[in-house]
Every structure is written in C-alpha cells, then in structure tokens.
Amino acid sequence: MKKIASWLLCGLLSSLLAPAALRAQQAPQAPLRTVKLTAGIHVVTAEVAATPQTRMIGLMMRPRLEPNHGMVFVFEDRSQHCFWMRNTLVPLSIAFVDDDGTVVDIADMAPKSDASTCPPRPVRYALEMEQGWFAKRGVTAGKKITGLPAPR
C-alpha cells in the first residue's frame, strides 16, 4: 500500500511541477547522440537520454520512429523511474532494464496519456520502441539488452 501511495504522489508531483514549457511542448527535441544496442540478433539504434531535461522531453512530438530506432533512458541511480506519454504522438512499448542488461518488464503505453508506467522494481535503464517491437521479436522479461551506455 505504501508503494502505491508513493507512485501516486510521484505522478501527482510530476504533473504539478512539470514546467509550463514542457506541458506545451510544440516540437521534438533535437536528435540526441545514438548507440547501437542488441536484443538477441536484433540491432537497435537508440538515442541516449541521460540528462534530466532530455529524459523529461524524451520522444515527445515525434510523428513517427524509424524502423528499429528508439530511445534509451539512462539514470544515475537505480530507482522505480516512472514514465508518461504527455505530448508523445506514437504508441510505444517500454522495456525496464537492470544494470546488467536484463529486461525486468515490458509495458505498452498509449499516446498523449498522463498515466504513469512504472517498473516493478528499481532499474537504471528504460528503452522505448515503437509499440509491439519487443513482442514481434520475442524480447521478453529475462532477455538481455547489450551495448547500454554507462551512467554518468
């Protein structure tokens, strides 16, 4: 019960404290540096969101993703980092990933939603891809993602 209350409070505070510029995000952020990740035999080109601002904006206002492209979110600390889809136009799937690259959980997220999607336990990474990408390639919890950038 305490964990649920914590997630609800986190979501409420995120909504209230999000800068007005973020709430009114009109254009996608400039492309970020990329890394090549692998999930089994599949190669992903992932933009790296490793600062508070790049993580906050994420894939907002992108009209589409190129095939096998996504965004990897890198956090300095392991925590139950929650995600939302405000101003995000494409449906996404998110993989929550441990330090060693093990996929902890995968969830689908609806466009333009303020609903929070959280991992079941603390993680350092999250990888967002076009919705269904992981399922179509057989990437499930327990599989490994390699090539993850080191946290700063």
Which amino acid, residue 110? A
Pairing of strands 123-130, 92-97: antiparallel
pTM of the model: 0.84
Nearest to 102 by CA among 117, 120, 115: 120
> Residue 21: what pLDDT?
46
> Residue 28: what pLDDT?
87
Q: Structural domains in the chain?
A: 2-146 (2.60.120.1140)
Using 50, 70 and 90 to split pLDDT, how confident is the model at 25?
low
> What's the whole-number mean pLDDT along residues 106-118?
97
Nearest to 143 by CA among 38, 39, 37: 39
Cα-based distances in Å from 150 to 7, 48, 100, 124: 26, 11, 11, 10
User: Which pLDDT tens digit goes with each residue over 33-92?
Assistant: 999 999 999 999 999 999 999 999 999 999 999 999 999 999 999 999 999 999 999 999
- Residue 14 pLDDT exceeds 90: no
Is the distance from CB of 59 to CB of 92 less than 8 angstroms? yes
Which amino acid, residue 52? P
